[in-house]
Amino acid sequence: MRIGAIRFPLSDRTADGAQDANARMAKMAEELAALRAIVDDLNVGILLLDKENRVQFINQPFRRFWRVPDSMINENLTFDALMHHSRGIRAYGLSQEFLSDYVCKQLALIRAGEQGPLKIRFANGAVIQFRCNMLPNGGRLLTYGNVSELVKETDAFERLACLDALTGLNNRRNFLLLAEAEWTRFRRYGRPLAFLMIDIDSFKSINDRYGHPAGDDVIRWVADTLRKHKRTSDIVGRVGGEEFAMLLPETTLDNAAIAAERFRQAIANCLFTVAGQSLSVTISVGVTVCRGDTGSIGELLKEADVALYEAKRCGRNRVCRFVLPPAS
């Protein structure tokens, strides 16, 4: 024995070692319980899979997201079983037609170990963002974060970017994007598509006499009238200062002219009050339709502009149709 060394009976050392091991185990259990409490308190669903896609760990937020009951939690639970469970409770905000495609995409991300992200929209409107991380042992760490508020804010900003601030109608940029979509549908199926250009008559004199705030009120009133009298399928936008455009799907030239006349009369038959005075407001409308030889939505817009100019030239407060020039 070395000097200064202390000898203990073997049985004492064994007992102390067991006590130390028990203390370490107890401490680890406390730390794991604290960690579990933290993970369960997160607003993020966490799922840990082994390389065979068996569930190794599942936290409470994940169980709340997917309504996983206690009866499902066992050592043989697989991710596929969880996916089938989610179908059964119809948690997804997707039709059955698209659900299988979505599930395949999620499984493909997990197999590839790609992070994603992939957004999931629930039937109740909540939006969960899914990510997948590959682990060194071949397993996967899946996280599901609630991004509903962020998505709502993003959607709101996107809507604002598409709307005219004064009237709430489509702005010029978004109207033309929607027009291109309708144009593509016309080219594919050959369905009727009409186009109106609408302009408030003598608008400069309204601004000069009553001021720009009154002019803004008139623009809003005309926009509201168009919105009130159009069909649900019609698309209307403010494309200039006092100029509006409207697409009328499934509408022939004759029916488009009838609709334009209805808009004209609705506005002409009402008196707009500004600064305590009654003001008569009128509009002029140019009408055209897609034909087999129409080259683009821009060409359609130009034709409606030509018809609108003709309505102005003929005295305003009227509807004019675009007439093809005679063949030379």
Task: Give catalytic residue positions.
Answer: 242
CA distance 281 to 267: 7
What DSSP string describes 192-261?
A: -EEEEEEEETTHHHHHHHH-HHHHHHHHHHHHHHHHHHS-TT-EEEE-SSSEEEEEEET--HHHHHHHHH
Residue from 257, 284, 281, 261 nearest 269 by CA: 281
Strands 193-200 and 235-238: unpaired
The amino acid occupying position 146 is N
By CB neighbour count within 10 A (0-12 exposed, 13-18 middle, 19+ buried), where does 269 fall? Answer: exposed
Place of tokens 């087999």: 292
Given a contact cutoff of 8 angstroms between Cβ atoms, the answer to whether 124 and 37 are in contact is: no
Beta bridge partners of 286: 197, 320
In the numeric block, which tokens belong to residue 161? 């970017």
Given a contact cutoff of 8 angstroms between Cβ atoms, the answer to whether 116 and 132 are in contact is: yes
Query: Residue 9, preceding bond cis, omega within 30 degrees?
Result: no
Question: Please, what is the Cα angle at 183 between 182 and 184, to 5 degrees?
Answer: 90
Place of tokens 């594919």: 188
Strands (E), the chain: 44-49, 55-58, 118-121, 127-134, 140-146, 193-200, 235-238, 243-249, 271-274, 277-280, 283-289, 319-321
